[in-house]
């Protein structure tokens, strides 16, 4: 057995006392990363295992605002078994006149091709969809039963179609692949939707064909054949997904949440790294005599270094293993708890890759923070046997070089495994800068304490002198606590701003109601009906109506759009149908950035006003041309205006606005938005059901309340995860207190001998640690503020709103917890009898 290993084994017989904080710091961060990774993997595997059911077949093609042609249907039928479903938004109305926007979905007899529709109140889907006289049978989501006070068997109307609620729609196998819905779902037969007039060209409906391929057929040739079948629709005229890509949005969300939670775990590892640094430093310091003896009897410097490197390595492996066990077990427990409530399928199991990645993070963090102090085992001179004033600072050497390499490896691994490396680089650089700043603040505090100590008296002086000393908690615990507080502060501030946006700013600035599908020829009559329902005339500042359609920007500057050349965040305006309107006179609050609005009676070649965000993707400027695909035709328009719009605000917030002459004769339906009190909203919703049953009424207020609720739950989970980083900071504080416990006991004993009261000693320690917590709290909140502000204002474009109560809680909490730690240290020191302590020296 090699000598270093032999000596290390002998040393390890003495146990691993003093390494609890070391183990906890590593285990905590690794557990957080492993748990985030394993949970995300469980959801990914769950989605992959049910991809066929989620998509509703092997391949799905969706059309917007038109149905499949006979030729297309014939072509699709040659590829496999096909099931068609069409959906549209419409107003449901109860017998008592209550109304609610719903998503009505009509399916054919072969639905579902994969999976099963879960119902309550009917045994089979066919039973639920069986008509009752004139009324179409339907399975209805519970939310609509509640909202319209329906019962099984109740007749109600969707648009102009009479429907009977035969069953509660518990779940559809393909729900996850269909995304967000503005209202509860009503599932019925395809011909009901067709007959109800929901599938008229120009209305916002969609039809999807789900195809189960013939046995043995593979995806690639099938998709090639499908694209051939859909050739006439053009490459952007349909959306095609297969079972390998059933839920792209959800998968992206899982990736991003995993990374964000994993990033918090990584930040905990960085904060806990100071605990690792402190524990290894204290360990090597306690071994100074042994190291010097080994050298005195002829050992080279690398022998004691290797002896302790082996021990620390084994302990790091133990800490990482504990973290991996906890991290692997957490999703299994979580899985049991959420099994019945999670809408997303998950296969909770032990997945090696997320655990390997978390383990690698843990070992790299242990090396990055533990190697530098281990270097002192090599550099401690044998003369330490004679002198006690040997420097405790790590000296530059091969160990520090490796520590730097491992630190870079840690950052590199975090970037490489991130879904968006650029964002990850910014986040990691932010943590590195914050850590450096907090470290400098800690050292600055210790330096300032050295200056102030001479000006103070009594317990304050003792506390401040300790703060200035070589074992000052200001240098270790302050940066660690600060990182934890900074993360929590950033999340609290982002959350409070976004919640305020949803709960206060948006209701004050956004319309409370939106009306879609207003026939153009009945617009004036609609205005009159709405004014009657509101009980007052409609004012321009509180009501706006404009033509509306959805379409696509298919080309720019005479060439087709190449989506690959557009940055992913800017693609939304080019790979999606977007809102398009046509407005004559310059709307109020048009916020034009470049160009001039056309005259109200303009009748020349088509002109368009683009929002800044829509123009950004293709770098469009005033004077350049775009090609718009709208209502089955292509309109080439020149960009006349580039303007800012606020999607969340009240006003003509369409990313694309044409001059009215450009769509003359198209007879676009109109949309309207209005500010209204809850009472006006209720009256209008009910009254329009009589005069305009086909006009959809969307309650923005209700949507905002729902969004606020979902956001609050998500934020709670994220905040809980961020608390892990704060715990890591507190662990470092505990480590710092534990390391100095013996010195504290000696100091307290000496002070008692000199006549100090217990109160004075307690006050001294509370001052010392309270100051550490306070400075860490203030610095952490400041850094959290700096991190949160650009996210809120630049990324979310929301109004900055500071949760002062949350901020105060964080600062006072950090100071209070640290001060309490100091008091605990003092009480522990005071509990020892002075004579016993001093005799032990």
Binding site for another protein (CB under 8 A): 3, 6-7, 10-11, 13-14, 289-290, 292-303, 381-383, 385-387, 389
Given a contact cutoff of 8 angstroms between Cβ atoms, the answer to whether 516 and 543 are in contact is: no
Closest CA relative to residue 787, chosen from 306, 530, 433, 308: 433
Is the bond preceding residue 243 a cis peptide, omega within 30 degrees? no
CB of 296 to another protein, least distance (A): 5
Nearer to another protein, 387 or 457 (CB): 387
Cα–Cα distance for residue pair 595/736, rounded to 1 Å: 63
Give me the phi and psi of 349, to 5 degrees please. -160, 180
Q: Work out the number of other CB atoms within 10 angstroms of the CB of residue 600.
A: 11
Dihedral of CA atoms 447, 450, 456, 459 in degrees, nearest 10, equals 100
Nearer to another protein, 14 or 564 (CB): 14
Dihedral sign (CA 712, 169, 131, 67): positive
CB of 797 to another protein, least distance (A): 57
CB of 802 to another protein, least distance (A): 46
Nearer to another protein, 3 or 432 (CB): 3
CB of 10 to another protein, least distance (A): 5
Q: What is the CA radius of gyration of the chain?
A: 34
CB of 327 to another protein, least distance (A): 33
Nearer to another protein, 60 or 307 (CB): 307
* DSSP string for 398-447: HHHHHHHHHHHHHHHHHHHTSSSHHHHHHHHHHHHHHHHHHHHHHHHHHH
Nearer to another protein, 182 or 384 (CB): 384
Q: H-helix or E-strand containing 382?
A: none
Closest CA relative to residue 16, chosen from 279, 357, 298: 279
Nearer to another protein, 294 or 771 (CB): 294
Cα–Cα distance for residue pair 482/462, rounded to 1 Å: 24
Angle among Cα 820, 486, 334 to the nearest 5 degrees reads: 85
Closest CA relative to residue 267, chosen from 44, 28, 514: 28
Q: Which whole-number Å values give the CA distances from 91 to 102, 641, 672, in the listed order?
A: 6, 36, 16
CB of 329 to another protein, least distance (A): 34
Nearer to another protein, 1 or 337 (CB): 1
CB of 475 to another protein, least distance (A): 19
Nearer to another protein, 354 or 397 (CB): 397
Using N-to-C axis directions, what is the helix angle for 741-753 and 700-739, rounded to 10°? Answer: 60
CB of 318 to another protein, least distance (A): 18
Residue with tokens 């790091």: 316
Check residue 461 and give left, alpha or beta (phi > 0: left; psi -120 to 50: alpha). alpha
Nearer to another protein, 77 or 296 (CB): 296
CB of 299 to another protein, least distance (A): 5
Nearer to another protein, 389 or 521 (CB): 389
Nearer to another protein, 292 or 652 (CB): 292
Given a contact cutoff of 8 angstroms between Cβ atoms, the answer to whether 169 and 187 are in contact is: yes
Nearer to another protein, 289 or 758 (CB): 289
Given a contact cutoff of 8 angstroms between Cβ atoms, the answer to whether 695 and 514 are in contact is: no
CB of 725 to another protein, least distance (A): 35
Cα–Cα distance for residue pair 769/612, rounded to 1 Å: 51
CB of 389 to another protein, least distance (A): 7
Nearer to another protein, 16 or 594 (CB): 16
Residue with tokens 């979580």: 334
CB of 399 to another protein, least distance (A): 15
What 3 state SS string does 271-302 have?
HHHHHHHHHHHHHHHHCHHHHHHHHHCCCCCH
CB of 298 to another protein, least distance (A): 3
Partners of 187 in beta bridges: 105, 139
Cα–Cα distance for residue pair 61/74, rounded to 1 Å: 14
């Amino acid at each position: 057995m090699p000598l270093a290993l032999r000596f290390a084994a002998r040393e390890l017989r003495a146990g691993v006392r003093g390494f609890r904080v070391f183990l906890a710091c590593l285990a905590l961060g690794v557990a957080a990363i492993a748990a985030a990774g394993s949970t995300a993997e469980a959801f990914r595997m769950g989605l992959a295992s049910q991809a066929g059911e989620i998509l509703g077949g092997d391949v799905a093609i969706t059309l917007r605002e038109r149905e499949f042609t006979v030729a297309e249907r014939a072509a699709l039928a040659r590829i496999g078994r096909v099931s068609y479903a069409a959906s549209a938004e419409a107003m449901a109305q109860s017998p008592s006149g209550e109304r609610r926007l719903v998503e009505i979905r009509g399916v054919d007899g072969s639905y579902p091709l994969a999976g099963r529709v879960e119902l309550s109140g009917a045994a089979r889907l066919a039973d639920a969809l069986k008509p009752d006289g004139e009324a179409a049978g339907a399975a209805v989501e519970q939310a609509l039963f509640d909202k319209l006070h329906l019962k099984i068997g109740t007749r109600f109307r969707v648009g102009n179609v009479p429907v009977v609620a035969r069953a509660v729609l518990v779940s559809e196998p393909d729900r996850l692949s269909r995304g967000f819905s503005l209202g509860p779902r009503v599932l019925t037969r395809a011909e009901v939707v067709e007959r109800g007039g929901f599938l008229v060209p120009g209305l916002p409906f969609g039809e999807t064909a789900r195809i189960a391929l013939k046995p043995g057929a593979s995806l690639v040739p099938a998709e090639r054949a499908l694209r051939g079948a859909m050739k006439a629709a053009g490459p952007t005229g349909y959306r095609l997904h297969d079972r390998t890509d059933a839920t792209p949005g959800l998968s992206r969300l899982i990736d991003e949440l995993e990374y964000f939670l994993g990033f918090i775990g990584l930040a905990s590892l960085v904060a806990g790294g100071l605990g690792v640094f402190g524990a290894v430093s204290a360990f090597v310091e306690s071994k100074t005599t042994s190291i010097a003896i080994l050298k005195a009897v002829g050992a080279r410097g690398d022998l004691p270094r290797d002896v302790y490197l082996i021990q620390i390595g084994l302990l790091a492996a133990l800490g990482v293993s504990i973290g991996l066990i906890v991290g692997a077990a957490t999703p299994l427990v979580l899985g049991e708890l959420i099994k019945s409530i999670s809408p997303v399928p998950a296969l909770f199991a032990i997945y090696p890759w997320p655990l390997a990645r978390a383990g690698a993070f843990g070992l790299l963090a242990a090396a990055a923070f533990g190697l530098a102090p281990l270097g002192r085992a090599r550099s401690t001179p044998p003369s330490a046997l004679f002198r006690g004033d040997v420097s405790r600072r790590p000296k530059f050497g091969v160990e520090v070089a490796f520590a730097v390499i491992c630190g870079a490896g840690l950052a590199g691994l975090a970037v490489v495994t991130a879904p968006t490396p650029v964002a990850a680089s910014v986040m990691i650089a932010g943590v590195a800068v914050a850590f450096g700043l907090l470290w400098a603040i800690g050292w600055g505090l210790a330096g300032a304490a050295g200056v102030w100590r001479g000006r103070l008296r009594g317990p304050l002086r003792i506390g401040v002198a300790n703060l200035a000393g070589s074992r000052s908690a200001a240098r270790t615990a302050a940066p660690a606590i600060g990182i934890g507080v900074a993360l929590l502060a950033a999340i609290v501030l982002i959350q409070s701003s976004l919640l305020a946006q949803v709960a206060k700013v948006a209701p004050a600035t956004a319309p409370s109601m939106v009306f879609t599908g207003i026939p153009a020829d009945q617009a004036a009559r609609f205005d009159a009906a709405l004014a009657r329902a509101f009980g007052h005339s409609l004012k321009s500042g509180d009501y706006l109506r404009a033509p509306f359609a959805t379409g696509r920007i298919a080309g720019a500057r005479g060439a087709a759009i190449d989506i690959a050349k557009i940055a992913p965040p800017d693609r939304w305006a080019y790979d999606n149908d977007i809102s398009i309107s046509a407005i004559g006179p310059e709307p109020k609050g048009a916020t034009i950035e470049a160009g001039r609005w056309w005259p109200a009676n303009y009748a020349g070649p088509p002109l368009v006003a683009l929002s800044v965000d829509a123009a950004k993707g293709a770098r469009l400027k005033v004077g350049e041309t775009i090609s718009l695909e709208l209502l089955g035709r292509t309109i080439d328009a020149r960009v006349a205006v580039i303007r800012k719009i606020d999607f969340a605000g009240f006003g003509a917030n369409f990313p694309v606005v044409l001059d009215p002459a450009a769509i003359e004769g198209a007879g676009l339906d109109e949309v309207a938005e209005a500010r209204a009190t809850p009472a006006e909203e209720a009256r209008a919703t009910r009254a329009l059901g009589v005069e305009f049953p086909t006009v959809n009424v969307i309650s923005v207020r209700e949507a905002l309340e729902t969004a606020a609720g979902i956001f609050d739950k998500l934020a709670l989970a994220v905040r809980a995860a961020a608390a892990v980083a704060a715990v890591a900071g507190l662990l470092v504080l505990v480590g710092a207190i534990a390391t100095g416990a013996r010195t504290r006991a000696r100091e307290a004993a000496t002070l008692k001998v000199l006549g100090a009261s217990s109160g004075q000693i307690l006050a001294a320690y509370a001052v010392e640690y309270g100051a550490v917590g306070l400075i860490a709290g203030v610095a952490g909140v400041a850094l959290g503020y700096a991190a949160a502000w650009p996210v809120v204002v630049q990324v979310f474009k929301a109004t900055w709103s500071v949760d002062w109560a949350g901020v105060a809680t964080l600062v006072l909490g950090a100071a209070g917890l640290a001060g309490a730690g100091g008091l605990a240290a003092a009480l522990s020191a005071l509990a020892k009898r002075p004579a016993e302590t001093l005799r032990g020296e």
